[in-house]
Amino acid sequence: MFADLVNKIACRIFAIFFFFLGVFSVLCGAVGLYWTFGGVPPDIAAEMTKAIEAALPPNFLALLSGGFIVLGFVFIALGVFAWSRHIWALIVGSGISVLTAGGSSGDADATPAIVAAVLVLLTIVAALASWRSRAKPSV
């Protein structure tokens, strides 16, 4: 009984995090597509040319925005499956977070590594609780 509750809480926390991450990614991609077809505001375009010194392909913003939208829908789908308490969704989400946090160095911001560690811990807790709740009770 308690293991089932722990599994449900771990999966729901994971699902809410990935759902909001997915919605944020889709919104950022939508803004990028809007700028692709409507033009980047002049003040932001001036800042972008100062910050990015390399020559970018003309369709770079459209490709980047499309990637954000696709990745956002992947995160939303993982959140939906995690809400339904599918352990494989938690494993895939944890793998994505570990892969994206893997390149952080000592002087860099530690937030991606902390988020990856928390998601891996939630995955382990949910998997163990799921295994425990399915085990036959000893009499």
- What residues does each domain of the chain span? 2-134
Is residue 31 very low, low, confident or very high in pLDDT (cuts 50, 70, 90)? very high
For residue 3 the two structure tokens come to 């293991």
Q: Which residues contact 73 (CB under 8 A, 6 or more apart)?
A: 22, 26
Q: What is the mean pLDDT of residues 92-102?
A: 87
DSSP 2-68: HHHHHHHHHHHHHHHHHHHHHHHHHHHHHHHHHHHHH---HHHHHHHHHH--SPPPTTHHHHHHHHH
DSSP 89-100: HHHHHHHHHHHH
Please return the burial class of 102, using the count of CB atoms within 10 Å of its CB with bins 0-12, 13-18 and 19+.
exposed
The answer on pLDDT for 87 being more than 70 is yes
> Of the given ranges (77-86, 110-119, 121-130), which has the lowest mean pLDDT?
110-119
